[in-house]
Structure 1
Amino acid sequence: MRRLIYTFATLFWLSTNCYHLKAQKNTTITKQVQLKLKRAERLFDSEQFPKAIEAYKELLGTVASGQLELPNKETELNAHLRLGLCYLYGSNQSLALQPLKYAHQLNPDYSPLLDFHLGDAFVYNRKYYEAVQSYQSGIDKSRNAKSKYLELIHDRVSKEDFIKVSNKRIKEANFAKKLIGNPLQASIYNLGPKINTQDNEYAPIVSNDNSMLIFTGSHESDGHEDVLISHTKERKWEAKEPWQHFNSKHHESAVFLSLDGNRLLIYQDYGSGNLYESRLNIETGPKYNESTITSVKKTRKRRRKTKKRDKKVMSRGKVSSSQKTKHAWSKPRSLGKHINSKHRETSGCLSPDGNTLFFTSDRPGGLGGLDIYMSTKNKKGRWSKPVNLGPKVNTPYDEEAPFLHPDGTTLYFSSMGHNSIGGFDIFKVVITGENDYSEVENLGFPINSQANDMYFVSNDKNHRIAYFSSDRAGGVGGKDLYRVIMNSASKKPLAKGDMLSFRVFFRYKDANIPKKSLPAVEALVSFMKNNPGLTIEVGGHTDNVGTRKNNELLSKQRAEVVYKWLVSKGINEKRLVKKGYGSKSPVIPNETHYARILNRRTDFRVVALRQQ
């Protein structure tokens, strides 16, 4: 009996100690899990997504190997959900699919917002049928939700807005399937590690002679923006360097350089953020990388670096202007009260003659978000009250980064509205009159992607070579700079009667070539020398102001002055024919001030081609 009692006592002691040892071990494991979870969540909440990805992968890896155990199913779901969102907000969006699918399998009814994000992940993997199903599932679940608002982690959105955005995503997915099925014959090249980094590079500006690249770089850690510059060597971009005389401890971004290289539009976050202009006196000033520029002190709230496709958080900014002093770019000078407001003015560009400005603003009275506006200079050289480009161009969503091609009529811009593949897409319209435009055209795939594609610029006369920025998958870092070259096979050979893309614009009632138009005629000289079998007509034109006799005389004078300039640059006069057309051949009807600006021109037509 004593032996039996002893045996039971021994077993009780052993079981009790084993229980305490197991409880102690479980307590240790739980603490390890909590520490790892808190670290990962802290990185996620502070939007340090690359570090958060590593933290969640480490945590879930130890769980999968059996070393650790998560306390419950919801904790496991949240860990996979946050990992998926980290990928969506980063530069490897396609990797979001597996963790989001796993989270959805754990609880398909968790939140309509989970269905929405899963739909985004399907899109980044070009699984459009599954994406549409996922978006539609989220819509159906939201309609059955009792609350007017839907929540997921830190997101809170009304059912009405959720359904609206989800339907937009469905439209985008269906359009992407169609567009990607008919790709452009174009080649896209990442500019590589000499230009792009693990951070963000965007807003490219290429000088008219293609020798200089100006762009903006921002750091993921603090969002600080600087202007960077690179030059070509043996047709390749050299390593970038900061434009030291331009940058400061504040935020700067160059947004446009004139064709003659003497006028630079600058975004600065001074006050609410505006656009400014700096000027260079080419006769006394040094080259771009040698010049000095004075920055305006400013304050700016730190930008959120989120990559949520429908929530672009930007600080207020403005556009400014300045005149050059000897051996320096001038101090940036504001473009005036009509351009800069209490709201954001984020980007802009000038027409070839410098007298028309296109810019973006979220001021009241627009169609929604950032809209594109147009302003012209009055007789005193001041910018007029801007006009919204209207519903043909602007949408309830953001429009950004307008760029007017040197042809003076093709306007490129980025938009989250219109028919897009997703995020910001690049579009173009042709200006057919003052505040009158052709139908908006999506530039197509592969220029546009499921990511944010923006800041398209091209000085190429045939629109074949261009630069833009994108945060698409496969880049060096976040936003990268890319070069696009349209397939040369799609380029039509020149034929008799073809109009060349070069144009020389003139001032009102004037026949002298303005400095702003010199890059166009210099480019024409190079073109003529590279095509020695070409004979062209130099055609002078006027607007419809004044008498027919005076306009015919003025048009002949404009043709004559360009003709003489070409001959002085070595073009054989036998390859040139000059003619004045007066006002009878307008580019667009002479019904508005802007139309008359475009019609005061000299253009060039092929009259003979000789095989070499």
Structure 2
Amino acid sequence: MKLFRFIILVFFIFNSVNILAQRSKTVDKSTYSENEILADNALQEEKYEKAVLLYKKLLNEKPDNSKINFLVGFCYLNTDYGKELAIDYFEKAVSNMKKRSQDNAPLEAYYYLADAYYHNYNFTEAVDVLNKLTEKIPKNEDLFNFRVKRLKEKCENGQNISLRKLEIKVEDLLEINSKYSDHSPLINSDETELIFTSRREGSKLSVKSYDDQFDANIYTSEKNDSVWQTPYSFGKTVNSSSHEASTFISADYKTMIIHKYDRNKGSLYISKRKESGEWGNAVALGSNINTKYRETAGCLTPDGRKLYFTSDRKGGHGGLDIYVSDKLNNGTWGPAKNLGATINTNFNEETPFIHKNGTLFFCSEGHNSIGGYDILGSSKNKKNKWSNPVNMGVPINSVDDDFFYIPSPNGRFAYYASKRQGGKGNSDIYRIGLSNPVKNNYVVVSGNIIISKENVTQKEVKIYISDLNGKKNHSYNPILKKNSFTLFLETGKSYILHFEFQDLTIHKIKINAGNNGSFLALEQHIILDDIIIKSLKDSKYRQKLVQGNIETKEYTSKPKSKDISYDKIIAGNTDTNATLDTDVDNTNEEEGKIFSIQLLSSKTQLDENYFEDLEEVKYFQDEDGSYFYYFGEYIYEWEATIKLRMIIDKFPKAHIFVNTINNKTRAKKNQ
């Protein structure tokens, strides 16, 4: 029965996005043509590209048919390339509706017309259509009304966020991405190795799932001459013939958190890297982390003492929520605590990542999202409370799912996954070029131990970190690929790095980490060739080292521009008497120039409680005696802009903006 078949088909379409569209209508007993049957079957199997070709053949016969135009538009809307094409068909479907016609599109055609406008960033047109649709929907259709309201919210969010579009370059990693889903990027310190998750075909994955993709496995790729090489499987100790996904890797590349699909529909595991460089078998995290519900992603703080993760366990705010667990003295994880309503919503929150500066990046379907998932950031205030999450804006976020945001260690870039239009597959991995680096409270030291003697391995070289008095507080074995090492040192302190071979110091670096929290990487190449190795076996030379005859040569490395790059200082000779004293002085390019948020100006001085919601508000007076009140001092404009977004709701009627101040106008606290 023709119309009955269409009703069932429409029920399938709208039920697939949680919109119920079955209504009582009279049944037409006419039969379907072969093309109609084939098209409907393809649609029900979600083979949209096949279905759209068949429906367009039917449309050639009936170009003004409202129902067929609707079905063509729906198929286009569900392809990667056809979201703009869908608009014309939905517009025709809506305009050609007639009273009591069996060829009419369903009322939901208005919803999908608005959805097509929305996916093409035509937010105003979408809101206009949704307003008309609201007047037509029966009030007892709660689910339909809810979906219309939710889409309207996202469109209105899009209108607001688009007004402050960021000048950021978004780059598709074409060498990495495939026609399948690629996501969850993890990057090393110098951005030469990328770990990610993909649903492409692999050696252990030969059977496709229901959605025409393979189960997920973890892959890695290395960059040679600025080009990403062909990705390869991460290894049998991590991957299996089932589902694995990368969710976190530590800065020293020794600890990885993995999501595995198991009897609980998803749990979190941890894998440790061995001294051989191989990864150990993944071990499930404790019962305070994994439950009978889903646990999907996790990350550690830089000190490894806190685990942030997502779960849809009972007691949350709805869907997946973000939780935190503290590491106990016995090495196990303590009870999980929900981050609360400031972070979690009744929608899903996913893919948390804690940056070294304390910012929590995550994605959410709630808050002021313009897409399915949007990337947001939040940080704790002096009262240890999370700030209201800030939407990272366009073009980082899109009307599609954007998730798994990972800033690079140098703060200049970020990597994330997105299902936005124009990608190679279901989701692609992208790199963002930030106009200014993210503020970082750590200095990174990275480099290589270069050994030319075959019978000497990098395991024989140890790195110790000490204070200026020589008290050693940490040791590190550079067991990474290609003999590389990476160390993260907290700012505001001075350190001595001791490179030891055969229990003797062969190289020392003094690092004075500045207080301003900017980022600078110093790459050290320590060369051990035959001359050095033979010298260390000479008793006279060893005695000189024991007596401490290691000269100090000073080199100062400063960033020459606001766009910080790696500063490479190479000890390329074989003179083991030389040590390196490196001062990390991360100042702004323009001496004395800082950025701040100007709150307001006043002819008279304001009461000290005027800004009671903000701490450390300061002011200065100009030559005319006017008072200028400002908040925060930042090295880079990007930092001030992000902070402005966090506080702008506190001043709905004020015109606050980012401004520059200098040492002459830096003022006193408002007290």
Instruction: Say whether residues 1:89 and 2:78 are aligned partners.
Output: yes
Instruction: Check conservation: 1:90, 1:478, Cα contact below 8 A.
Output: no
Q: Tell me the equivalent position of 2:5.
A: none
Query: How many angstroms apart in 2 are the aligned matches of 1:112 and 1:63?
Result: 20
- Code of the residue aligned with 1:60 in structure 2: it is L
| Structure 1 residue 133, shift from structure 2 partner | 1.5
Instruction: Check conservation: 1:405, 1:459, Cα contact below 8 A.
Output: no
Q: Tell me the equivalent position of 1:284.
A: 276
Q: 1:434 to 1:218 in 2, by over 3 A?
A: farther
Report the TM-score when normalising by structure 1: 0.65
- Match of residue 207, structure 1, among 188, 194, 198: 188
Mind listing any 5+ residue stretches in structure 1 that lack a counterpart? 1-29, 65-72, 150-158, 286-327, 493-497, 529-533, 540-563, 578-604, 606-612
Q: Tell me the equivalent position of 2:519.
A: none
Query: How many angstroms apart in 1 are the aligned matches of 2:365 and 2:414?
Result: 21
Q: Secondary structure at the match of 2:86?
A: helix
- Match of residue 397, structure 2, among 420, 443, 448: 448
Q: Secondary structure at the match of 1:215?
A: strand
Q: 1:138 to 1:211 in 2, by over 3 A?
A: same
Query: How many angstroms apart in 1 are the aligned matches of 2:258 and 2:511?
Result: 41
Q: Tell me the equivalent position of 1:556.
A: none
Kindly indicate which of the two structures has a greater share of residues assigned to strand.
2
| Structure 1 residue 164, shift from structure 2 partner | 3.1
Mind listing any 5+ residue stretches in structure 2 that lack a counterpart? 1-29, 100-104, 201-210, 446-464, 466-470, 479-484, 498-509, 516-551, 556-569, 572-577, 586-634, 636-671
| Structure 1 residue 180, shift from structure 2 partner | 1.8
Q: Secondary structure at the match of 2:158?
A: helix
Instruction: Check conservation: 1:260, 1:515, Cα contact below 8 A.
Output: no
Instruction: Say whether residues 1:172 and 2:154 are aligned partners.
Output: yes
Q: Tell me the equivalent position of 1:502.
A: 443
Q: Secondary structure at the match of 1:519?
A: strand
Q: Secondary structure at the match of 2:269?
A: strand
Query: How many angstroms apart in 2 are the aligned matches of 1:575 and 1:460?
Result: 19
**Cα displacement string for residues 476-526 of structure 1 (whole angstroms, at most 9, x for unaligned residues):** 222111111012xx569xxxxx9854389x9xxx9713659983448999x
Instruction: Say whether residues 1:224 and 2:206 are aligned partners.
Output: no
- Match of residue 102, structure 1, among 88, 92, 103: 92
Instruction: Say whether residues 1:46 and 2:7 are aligned partners.
Output: no
Query: How many angstroms apart in 2 are the aligned matches of 1:240 and 1:435?
Result: 41
Query: How many angstroms apart in 1 are the aligned matches of 2:69 and 2:214?
Result: 27
| Structure 1 residue 471, shift from structure 2 partner | 1.2
| Structure 1 residue 404, shift from structure 2 partner | 1.2
- Code of the residue aligned with 1:87 in structure 2: it is Y
* 1:54-93 matched pairs, under 5 angstroms: 54-61=53-60, 63-64=62-63, 76-92=65-81, 93=83
Q: Tell me the equivalent position of 1:580.
A: none
Instruction: Say whether residues 1:402 and 2:337 are aligned partners.
Output: no
**Cα displacement string for residues 52-89 of structure 1 (whole angstroms, at most 9, x for unaligned residues):** 2333334434655xxxxxxxx8xx44433233222333
Instruction: Say whether residues 1:412 and 2:361 are aligned partners.
Output: yes
* 1:358-377 matched pairs, under 5 angstroms: 358-377=308-327
Q: Secondary structure at the match of 2:474?
A: coil
**Cα displacement string for residues 515-547 of structure 1 (whole angstroms, at most 9, x for unaligned residues):** 59983448999xx9xxxxx994568xxxxxxxx
Q: Tell me the equivalent position of 1:266.
A: 258
| Structure 1 residue 372, shift from structure 2 partner | 0.6
| Structure 1 residue 575, shift from structure 2 partner | 3.6
Query: How many angstroms apart in 1 are the aligned matches of 2:383 and 2:256?
Result: 25
| Structure 1 residue 349, shift from structure 2 partner | 0.8
Query: How many angstroms apart in 1 are the aligned matches of 2:51 and 2:164?
Result: 38
* 1:385-396 matched pairs, under 5 angstroms: 385-396=335-346
Kindly indicate which of the two structures has a greater share of residues assigned to helix.
1
Instruction: Say whether residues 1:475 and 2:470 are aligned partners.
Output: no
Instruction: Say whether residues 1:198 and 2:179 are aligned partners.
Output: yes
| Structure 1 residue 466, shift from structure 2 partner | 0.6
Kindly indicate whether structure 1 or structure 2 has the higher relative contact order, using CA contacts under 8 Å at least 6 residues apart.
1
Q: Secondary structure at the match of 1:382?
A: coil
Q: 1:364 to 1:100 in 2, by over 3 A?
A: same
Q: Tell me the equivalent position of 2:375.
A: 426
* 1:525-544 matched pairs, under 5 angstroms: 536=512
Query: How many angstroms apart in 2 are the aligned matches of 1:499 and 1:453?
Result: 24
Q: 1:378 to 1:35 in 2, by over 3 A?
A: same
Q: Tell me the equivalent position of 1:242.
A: 233
Instruction: Check conservation: 2:300, 2:308, Cα contact below 8 A.
Output: yes
**Cα displacement string for residues 34-65 of structure 1 (whole angstroms, at most 9, x for unaligned residues):** 2212212112112222332333334434655x
Q: Secondary structure at the match of 1:513?
A: strand
Q: Tell me the equivalent position of 1:138.
A: 133
Q: Secondary structure at the match of 1:340?
A: coil
Query: How many angstroms apart in 2 are the aligned matches of 1:454 and 1:436?
Result: 24
CA root-mean-square deviation: 3.5
- Code of the residue aligned with 1:341 in structure 2: it is T
Q: Secondary structure at the match of 2:196?
A: strand
* Worse-matched range after superposition: 125-134 or 360-369: 125-134
Q: Tell me the equivalent position of 1:484.
A: 432
- Code of the residue aligned with 2:68 in structure 1: it is A
| Structure 1 residue 461, shift from structure 2 partner | 3.7
Instruction: Check conservation: 1:119, 1:130, Cα contact below 8 A.
Output: yes
- Code of the residue aligned with 1:279 in structure 2: it is K
Q: Secondary structure at the match of 1:446?
A: coil
Q: 1:108 to 1:421 in 2, by over 3 A?
A: farther
| Structure 1 residue 401, shift from structure 2 partner | 0.7
- Code of the residue aligned with 1:189 in structure 2: it is E
Instruction: Say whether residues 1:460 and 2:451 are aligned partners.
Output: no
* 1:148-167 matched pairs, under 5 angstroms: 148-149=140-141, 159=142, 161-167=143-149
Q: Secondary structure at the match of 1:478?
A: coil
Query: How many angstroms apart in 2 are the aligned matches of 1:538 and 1:268?
Result: 41
Query: How many angstroms apart in 1 are the aligned matches of 2:355 and 2:385?
Result: 17
Query: How many angstroms apart in 2 are the aligned matches of 1:58 and 1:207?
Result: 51
Q: 1:226 to 1:54 in 2, by over 3 A?
A: farther
Query: How many angstroms apart in 1 are the aligned matches of 2:35 and 2:440?
Result: 67
Instruction: Say whether residues 1:185 and 2:185 are aligned partners.
Output: no
| Structure 1 residue 356, shift from structure 2 partner | 0.8
Count of aligned residue pairs for this structure pair? 437
| Structure 1 residue 186, shift from structure 2 partner | 0.7
Instruction: Check conservation: 2:410, 2:437, Cα contact below 8 A.
Output: no
Q: Secondary structure at the match of 2:151?
A: helix
Q: Tell me the equivalent position of 1:307.
A: none
| Structure 1 residue 572, shift from structure 2 partner | 4.3
Query: How many angstroms apart in 2 are the aligned matches of 1:415 and 1:574?
Result: 42
Query: How many angstroms apart in 2 are the aligned matches of 1:213 and 1:484?
Result: 15
Query: How many angstroms apart in 1 are the aligned matches of 2:178 and 2:50?
Result: 17
- Code of the residue aligned with 1:214 in structure 2: it is I
Instruction: Check conservation: 2:179, 2:425, Cα contact below 8 A.
Output: yes
Query: How many angstroms apart in 2 are the aligned matches of 1:451 and 1:52?
Result: 23
Q: Tell me the equivalent position of 2:611.
A: none
Q: 1:39 to 1:171 in 2, by over 3 A?
A: same
- Code of the residue aligned with 2:216 in structure 1: it is E
Q: 1:491 to 1:382 in 2, by over 3 A?
A: closer
**Cα displacement string for residues 399-439 of structure 1 (whole angstroms, at most 9, x for unaligned residues):** 111111133x0111001111122221100111347972122
- Code of the residue aligned with 1:198 in structure 2: it is K
Q: 1:433 to 1:403 in 2, by over 3 A?
A: farther
| Structure 1 residue 105, shift from structure 2 partner | 2.0
Query: How many angstroms apart in 1 are the aligned matches of 2:134 and 2:219?
Result: 44
| Structure 1 residue 204, shift from structure 2 partner | 1.2
